[in-house]
A and B are shown apart, each in its own frame.
Chain A
Amino acid sequence: MTVIPSLPRRLHGPSIWALYVIGLCPAAWYFYQGATGGLGVNPVKTFEHLLGIWALRFLIATLAITPLRDIAGINWLRYRRGLGLLAFYYVLMHFAVWLILDRGLDFSSIAGDIVKRPYITIGMVCLVSLAPLAATSNNWSIRRLGPRWSKLHQLIYPVALGGALHYLLAVKSVTFQPFIHIALVAVLLAYRPLRKPFLGWKRGSKPSVARATR
């Protein structure tokens, strides 16, 4: 039941590289804008917030791969690693901008904020949790860790929850944009426990399709 035409096999590799290039475009564009005065009168905060929002967007896209395959039959599994890594790169840039451009490497106040401010603590925990996922995203680690790899990479769920919470706690009032992002994370996380019954129901209602896809 593939809705969109599938990509020729020879383009799979290049399309993954294209994802990295396109995925890094927002950061490059906003950096250019910030450096040339295009981000308004508070460019650092604007840049920092945009990087954070894009990090959450890539996390959302990463989490959407599985339901997209289950429900719509679109298999974009090959892009999941790239999306996850892009999320990590954006979190890292978001953190670096906060550390260097926003707080000016004032380590005593930075340490105080990480300990005292729940939303910053949560953000830090998410960043630290993403690091081992990024480090073990290569094929060698997947082979080497075997079933433990899947276990480890389930960390993405608390990280996504933490990312949404971090956003929720950082804003003065929950307006449309934070609401939409947080709601998407909530829906995608809520799908996980429902996945097994859903797939079972799908298999039961269409036995031939289920066998064909195994």
Chain B
Amino acid sequence: MNFYSPIFFLFLLGLIPIILMYLLKKQHKDIEISSNFLWKKTLRDIEANKPWQKLRKNLLLLLQILAFIFIVFTLTQPYIISDILSGGSLIIVLDSSASMQSTDVDYENRFHKAKADIRQAINSLKPQTEVTLISMDKSPKIIVSNSSDKSLLKRKLDSIKVSDNSENLKDTVSLVKAITKDIENYQVIFYTDKNIENSISNMIVKNINGKGDNLAIENLSYTYSDDNITVLTRIKNYSQNHYSSDIVLYSDGEIHDVKEIDLSPDESKNIYWYDVPYADILKAEIDLEDSLTLDNYRYAVVNKQKENKVLLVSKGNVFLQKAIDIQQNIELYRANEADEDISGFDLYVYDGLLPKELPKDGNLLMFNPPTNSLVKINSLSRSGELKVREDELFANISLDFTIRETKVFDTPSWGVSVLLSNDKPIILKGEVKNQKIVAVGFDINDTDLPLKIDFPIFIQNVLSYTLNLNNHKSNSVLAGESIKIDPLPKSQEVYITNPQEIKSLLAPPFPLAPYTDINSIGIYTIEEKYEDGSNKNYFAVNLNTSKESNTFYDIPEDNEELSKEQNRVTSGRNMKNIFIWLALAALAIEWVVYNRGY
């Protein structure tokens, strides 16, 4: 028997005053007699002959206690697991996250075992039971809603595929809560290998667990060192056994080196690989058959140290030139005339000058621009209160600077205002046809900003945005996450190829929405096609080992018992009414006993 509100057991403390009151109430009439000789004998006989006689004296107390206990039980809303779901709704949640691929069960893997259990459960359902089938990985998906068609249910069940993602328990629970809100008679069953707390009433967790002996590569990262790279791998032993194995590092598909590892239970080790030559793709693999193979390999994409070509068009601005030049992988070119037919730069910086025809092949940064096809100057402002929007351009920058004179823009359709003076935009940021544009309304020399420590940071922020310098951080994601793809402005078509070698078109249309279809582990290839050729970029998708690799769980005792009865669908039958009747019965008997004066 289980309880929906076991907190009410605290009321059992109320028994203490009942017993105390009973003891205090029971006042004996004192009678002095010559000798207890005969009474002692009598009592000894009574107690010896009828052990329950002793209890009989306190029959009223016992009945009171019984009635009280029954009332408390009623409050705790007890239910028993019953084989028959009495004509209500059944909500089955199937965990299809990566750890369900563990092979430590009798079936092909945990996921198949869960499916087999669900199939049996569906078979043994009463005909009128309505079943909702939900799969749970990165987000809950309702596969079938309120159907009593068993063949449909089984067909849809077969269609659920196990993913490489982590499960999203929070969203699933809130979805299930929303579904069950208006249903009176329902039962929720979770088929999962995770430890889930019972947060929904009428919920049963059927744990699909095995021994879960698993080793995982938790991390694969690299740093540049001179002409080559240094690679770090971290291996963790999630099992309760000692393991020794080989770990192999592949660089661009070829074996670079093999190392031996030796791990005691719950141990994790860092392994360094030095002097690894440059490669696009690194892969580490443990040569071992454990319960979950997904985390036996891990990928990393090496970000090439690309030189960005930047053109600074200025009559001479040392501050700007120095601030841009700090960045190591920038090749800075300077010009003091705004020529129209230049191309081939990743970023054009115009300081007070603009060509009549703006370049189309690179991003644009304009300081103190005249009115042009992109920005329209509204007025000039000499003083005003500065306000900044929360934006990456002003990350870590204080507004503690003054501007002598600035141009005030009209807000264009392509961008947003970042810095405002008297609520009018003076710095704009946006994208036109894949071309990132930042427009600054003032001349750097008209402010005291260059004298502040914030100035180089501000320029770096602007460069990071316009040159996608932070991009390399996002070439490794975890399965189930999304990735933002930033193609170059000149890209005409963007394709993506997933690890199963299926190629699909991402763009046009531009701009690109974040790519979310990341469900399998491996290397994804992004191909950008330009007028004059194409370029390939990669990103690696790895398993969220912190959530999925720990396939070993201590199953609580009662859950283990439950899991033994996997093949039957059960439901909680509320025992509340029975306990109400029992309490009434106890009170009635007490009344009779009191009146008869036993």
Q: Do A and B come from one complex?
A: no
Chain A residues in contact with chain B, CB under 8 A?
Answer: none
